[in-house]
Structure 1
Amino acid sequence: MAQKKPSRAIKLFGTEVPEGKRCELSAGPISAIFDRGALRYIRYHGEEVLRRIAYIVRDKDWGTYAPAIENLKVRQLKDAFTISYEATCKDADQAIRYSAKIDARSDGTLTFSAEGTPLSDFLTNRTGFVVLHPLAGTVGRPVEVVHTDGKKEKRKFPKLISPGQPIFEIRSLKHEPLSEIAVTVLMEGNKFEMEDHRNWMDASYKTYVCSLLDPWPYTLKKGESFSQSVTLAVSGKPPKSRPARSAPGTIVTLAETKGRIPQIGLGVPMVEAAAALQAADFIAAAKPHALVCQIDGREQGQKEAAANFRELSAQTGVPVTLEIILPAKEPADKEVSAIAGAVNAAGLTPASVVITQMHDLKSFQPNTPRPWGPTYEEMAAAARACFPDAVLGGGMLSYFTELNRKPAPLGLFDFITHTGCPIVHAADDISIMETLESLPWIFASARAMIGKAPYHIGPTSIPCRDNPYGAAVAPNPDNGRVCLSDLDPRQRGLFAAAWNLGYLSAAAKARVDAVTLGSATGSQGMIYRKLAHIQPWFDGGGARVYPTYHVIAGLTAASGARRTNTDTSAPSKVATLAHRSGGGQVLWLANLTGETQRLKISGFEGPAKLHVLDERSFQAAVRDPGWHRGGATFIRKVGSLELPSYGVARIQSG
């Protein structure tokens, strides 16, 4: 029987689960998008002044509930809009219900209020409003704070990413994102404080209800209702109109050669060691610069995993970077020696070693006590003694947040590393692509912290490989969009291919030395294999790789190549990456949106070959690991291009 063709949703997102509808509303100069109970992209005369206002319910592990919305009423009036709804958040153990009202008027004011009532005792890390300020017009800019005691204070939004909360005890915030435009946000019903959301790859500053200085999780008592509200007031002259473009679309310009493409690696988790070995041919064909493998000293089977890593390296010709996690129960020299014994017995000689301990996989607030564990200095000394010929890395196997809160001493390690995950706080499609906006600030803040030390990004993908903020990753049995889950269906779709190119583009522009994206196999992988969870269409569809394989495999050969500077008129819509190859040019383009993007390209020399990874080529690409090496279309002149939803294009001279 012929295999059913994949749906458009499977091609784009790897799942049939819909994301939900959005609608745009306006009230005089104010406009906003209503998105599943929240407001996003709140604009004044078309200019964004707030990224989002949302009522959020989180569990004890920082998982975010998806509210079940009922009795939704949306009214768009001539110069105003109103929204009301009721929502329930629940799991097998607890439930809470809240009613929400939104009222926007033509005078530039908007009020979002809610009353919550726990239907049971409700254990939560946070329940209530969060307000997100966008990065444009805020980074490093002044903000006037009114505190809960009524005192006023003039501060600035941090430029380099703040490891802790920059502002506490907030009642209101006032800033000017544009000349002569004043934006005031009043938050009532509890105290609020701000965190630098860029720590977690969110493209915003977040002001949230309650304080992390207070104990959490906390319990909301059954039947005890509580109210909160957020009021936005915007005033000032309309922004000066921007000159209209002569033609619609995004302009992409190639300029001078500047910097290098990072070395590109592939992750191999300990639990995927045997599976990766079965996919050795596909890994070898991808030609990664390094295999970033892991030995967890808390787990059994260390020698067996190391033997698989050794054999995988031998079959692919790719050196191993070995991440080592110490159990942190005994001195570092003893624990490293035990793991080194298993590694040596397996015949594995890693080219590089990254050393860490189990407590550094979890997050701690700045200046709070940490459990006992070996210091950076103790781990470095033990690792150098046991692996004298290996290049030694340090830092965090968790996210930039954790490195920012516990920086590695300068000069102790040969390179510094951390990883990333775009679904810590939000898992909708728009928010994930927005995380790419935060990367220049993450990379700049890390560089300011580590000086001239080589800077490596460890295994990073849309699904998270660990949860630093709770006991476990979030389950995702239904192929949904779930925060802090190690299973995300978009890893299988064109969406991930576009996001990965966007990540590599930002890393290259920031002169990051090495980047490892996800893993070879598994739920964070780029090579298909049958897993414990259902992979719609891919299970039985004849797939051998996911679309992102062709982005990574297509770029690994460019590791270390001279990068060509690129500029785009719409960086939130189109990611670009260009380099020199054999005297010619190679330009990569990724559509970061769900709509076709029309591109106008300037600065590309001569005729070229065009590869487009999109819905039309999806089946051929996932069934043929060598697809990216063939099937090109010849074009005489590179001038314009239409790039479909989440499509990726490669244009190569020749």
Structure 2
Amino acid sequence: MTAEIDPFQLYGTRETEVPPQRLAAGRLAVDFKDGNLRAITYDGTEVLRAVSYLVRDRDWGTYAPRISDLKIDQGQDGFSIGYLAHCTGPDDTDLEIRVHISAEAGGAVVFEAEAMSKTGFETNRCGFCILHPIVGVAGTPVSVEHVDGRREGTRFPDLIEPWQPFKDMRAITHTVMPDVTAECRMEGDTFEMEDQRNWSDASYKTYVRPLALPWPYRIPAGQSVSQRIVLSFQDKRQTLSAPASVLCEGRAVTITEGSKRGTMPSMGLVITPEEAEATLEARDTLAKIGPQELLFHFDPNAGHDATVFGAFGAIAKLQAGTSTFEVALPCKQSPHAEAQEIAAWMNAAGFKPDAIVISPSVDRQSTPPGSQWPECPPLEEVYAAARSAFPDVRLGGGMLSYFTELNRKRVPSGPLDFISHCTNPIVHAADDLSVMQTLEALPFITRSVRAIYGDKPYRIGPSTIPMRQNPYGSRTMDNAAGGRIPMANSDPRHNGRFAEAFALGYAAAVLDAGLECLTLSALTGPFGVIAGKDEPSPAGRKRPIFNTVARLAGLAGSHWRECVSSDPTAVLSFVAEPADGASQMLLVNITATAQQVELGSFRLAEKRESGSVTLQPFAVCSIALKD
């Protein structure tokens, strides 16, 4: 990271992540961080995104274990690691994990762990998670060895698989590069794989303990739980170059023009009853953004009632665009009765949205494999009730939560005018790298939605770094300390340039989906482009994400042209062609290091000493082009 930049500007906190330690064994290299392995490469090619030993609580929150007795030995031909990890659960329950990791040049990586509790320990999951990358792997052949010894030749899913693609796993083997394969063998329990792209994670996750078994479960006091992961390689190449165990750094990213074209989506802002008053007070800021869509959220189970619609109606009149009413229908009475009551409240207050998105509140609750689906009225009945109560508006459906729930409960699209869902990047991991890597999964999500719903008008959002709801547990996680934690209802990076870069990277990643509308923030509050009254930042202060949201709102309806990045893990780009202005190339650095970018054959409107630009960490740049 560039030393001159205050970490607070980048991350909204001066607490920075401890960088990983790079370890090597011949052609193999790994990053060791927080007790786990990341970025496992062979000859510079990513083999596994991670091998981690994780302990999850009853809400699927991930413990951050205390590590002691850490010993790391990097030798000439390999490395070894040993440590103790300690987790403290509710009621002072404890869990201790003894870990040993080793690798030798030409040999295997071995990651062993033994867990023991003196008190007994409740958990939803305790054991290994192995992450395979998706780029260059999705849709490719793979061999799966099952616990009964049977081998299955199959493929990694291309479109996102709603349920586990592979079960009862003992080992998985895939091709790393021509004539090089990697086998990951998993011992000590039965493993299965889920397609983590459902949650916008950029990985396939193989994990311990099948979801069909009861959870949470208890590790008995004094009982040892041992597991082992062995990653080995077969390299049949005839000619071997010198090991490329460390990826090249400092190489310029090249941007070239692609063949895809499209139209920029409308930009939305979400308005909740809790932020309605602050939104009215920030009307000047709303006018500066000029969003095409306001998404008004309403959830009777959260205490929202008839009193909110006066403010909703007043806010809707502040802007020239359209408005959508998002309803989490309680379904405690008949859908018809509930919809009619809400419509009467709206009419009395003079709130007349242009569209409604309706979904049973219970559908925000995730139903994992092996679980019983909660009681819910047929969606056809819910949609018919909405049509009756709101006869002159467009009707949208899908999920108020995430693509995961939409993929697992595919709503009937016939009655609907458009499909909608959200995403969230901190469901499973909240470190900086994992959050930015979720951008890799977005094109797979949008392509999967298109495979299900064809050319049905399609909206995404609100999709923010902080989590507004948790379908996988009883609550989102409070984050008063401002850390990087999964499933948190506030996140410090939303205050920094990190969020500005993430939002533009998000827009670039979903351009090809032909979205009708994209919503990436609220106006105020913990999800807003400006800070609210109850936050550490001064009320009304513009966050850096304001710049991205306002820029994208200004480009709505413009044509866009594809830009191809030689390293999309570092820099993303596209060209926008506003009807009333010059074409511009938008560039975003989604890394914490400065990136040198070569602009290829693009015709720049201004003379430059060279056809390159340096992007500082998480920087966004606009360059005018000649038409």
For normalisation by structure 1, the TM-score amounts to: 0.91
Whole-Å separation in 2 of the counterparts to 1:255 and 1:50: 29
Where 1:557 maps in the other structure, the secondary structure is helix
Corresponding position: 1:640 with 2:608: no
Deviation at 1:230, TM superposition (A): 0.3
Across the two proteins, how many residue pairs are aligned to each other?
616
The answer to whether the 8 A contact 1:257-1:562 is kept is no
Q: Superposition pairs for residues 16-415 of structure 1, below 5 Å? A: 16-93=14-91, 94-237=93-236, 248-255=251-258, 258-365=261-368, 368-415=371-418
Q: Judging changes above 3 Å, is the alpha-carbon distance between structure 1 residues 235 and 406 closer, same or farther for their aligned structure 2 residues?
A: same
The answer to whether the 8 A contact 1:399-1:418 is kept is yes
The answer to whether the 8 A contact 1:575-1:589 is kept is yes
Q: CA RMSD in A?
A: 2.1
Q: Which has the higher mean CA deviation after the structures are superposed, 75-84 or 140-149?
A: 140-149
Where structure 2 has 5 or more consecutive residues not aligned to the other structure, the ranges are none
Whichever residue aligns with residue 648 of structure 1, its letter is V
Q: Superposition pairs for residues 509-524 of structure 1, below 5 Å? A: 509-524=512-527
Where 1:231 maps in the other structure, the secondary structure is strand
Q: Which has the higher mean CA deviation after the structures are superposed, 98-107 or 229-238?
A: 229-238
Where 2:317 maps in the other structure, the secondary structure is helix
Q: Superposition pairs for residues 452-463 of structure 1, below 5 Å? A: 452-463=455-466
Where 1:584 maps in the other structure, the secondary structure is coil
Whichever residue aligns with residue 61 of structure 2, its letter is G
Whole-Å separation in 1 of the counterparts to 2:381 and 2:370: 21
Aligned position for 2:582? 584
Deviation at 1:147, TM superposition (A): 1.1
Corresponding position: 1:525 with 2:525: no
The answer to whether the 8 A contact 1:200-1:401 is kept is yes
The answer to whether the 8 A contact 1:38-1:53 is kept is yes
Whole-Å separation in 1 of the counterparts to 2:302 and 2:79: 56
Where 2:318 maps in the other structure, the secondary structure is helix
Whole-Å separation in 2 of the counterparts to 1:525 and 1:380: 30
Whole-Å separation in 2 of the counterparts to 1:450 and 1:409: 9
Q: Which of 554, 564, 568 is matched with 1:567 structurally?
A: 564
Q: Judging changes above 3 Å, is the alpha-carbon distance between structure 1 residues 301 and 52 closer, same or farther for their aligned structure 2 residues?
A: closer
Q: Superposition pairs for residues 454-603 of structure 1, below 5 Å? A: 454-531=457-534, 535=536, 538-539=537-538, 544-581=541-578, 582=580, 584-603=582-601
The answer to whether the 8 A contact 1:410-1:451 is kept is no
Deviation at 1:410, TM superposition (A): 3.0
Q: Judging changes above 3 Å, is the alpha-carbon distance between structure 1 residues 455 and 148 closer, same or farther for their aligned structure 2 residues?
A: same
Deviation at 1:317, TM superposition (A): 2.8
CA deviations 1:222-254 (Å, max 9, x no partner) are 232211110000121469879999x93001123
For normalisation by structure 2, the TM-score amounts to: 0.95
Q: Judging changes above 3 Å, is the alpha-carbon distance between structure 1 residues 256 and 21 closer, same or farther for their aligned structure 2 residues?
A: closer
Deviation at 1:208, TM superposition (A): 0.1
Where 2:167 maps in the other structure, the secondary structure is strand
Where structure 1 has 5 or more consecutive residues not aligned to the other structure, the ranges are 1-5, 609-634
Whichever residue aligns with residue 477 of structure 2, its letter is A
CA deviations 1:190-223 (Å, max 9, x no partner) are 1100000100011110000000011111111223
Where 1:345 maps in the other structure, the secondary structure is helix
CA deviations 1:452-488 (Å, max 9, x no partner) are 1011002000001100000000121210001011111
Deviation at 1:512, TM superposition (A): 2.3
Aligned position for 1:631? none
Whole-Å separation in 1 of the counterparts to 2:319 and 2:276: 14
The answer to whether the 8 A contact 2:135-2:440 is kept is no
What percentage of residue pairs aligned between the two structures are identical?
40
Whole-Å separation in 2 of the counterparts to 1:79 and 1:370: 53
Whichever residue aligns with residue 624 of structure 2, its letter is Q
The answer to whether the 8 A contact 1:439-1:507 is kept is yes
Q: Judging changes above 3 Å, is the alpha-carbon distance between structure 1 residues 255 and 446 closer, same or farther for their aligned structure 2 residues?
A: closer
Aligned position for 1:630? none
Deviation at 1:584, TM superposition (A): 2.1
The answer to whether the 8 A contact 1:250-1:598 is kept is yes
Whole-Å separation in 2 of the counterparts to 1:69 and 1:28: 28
CA deviations 1:149-176 (Å, max 9, x no partner) are 2222222111110000011111111111
Q: Judging changes above 3 Å, is the alpha-carbon distance between structure 1 residues 487 and 340 closer, same or farther for their aligned structure 2 residues?
A: same
Deviation at 1:583, TM superposition (A): 5.3
Where 1:499 maps in the other structure, the secondary structure is helix
Corresponding position: 1:650 with 2:584: no
Deviation at 1:366, TM superposition (A): 5.0
Whole-Å separation in 2 of the counterparts to 1:374 and 1:512: 29
Where 2:461 maps in the other structure, the secondary structure is strand
Whole-Å separation in 2 of the counterparts to 1:524 and 1:89: 31
Deviation at 1:606, TM superposition (A): 3.8
CA deviations 1:596-633 (Å, max 9, x no partner) are 0001113433424xxxxxxxxxxxxxxxxxxxxxxxxx
Whichever residue aligns with residue 28 of structure 2, its letter is I
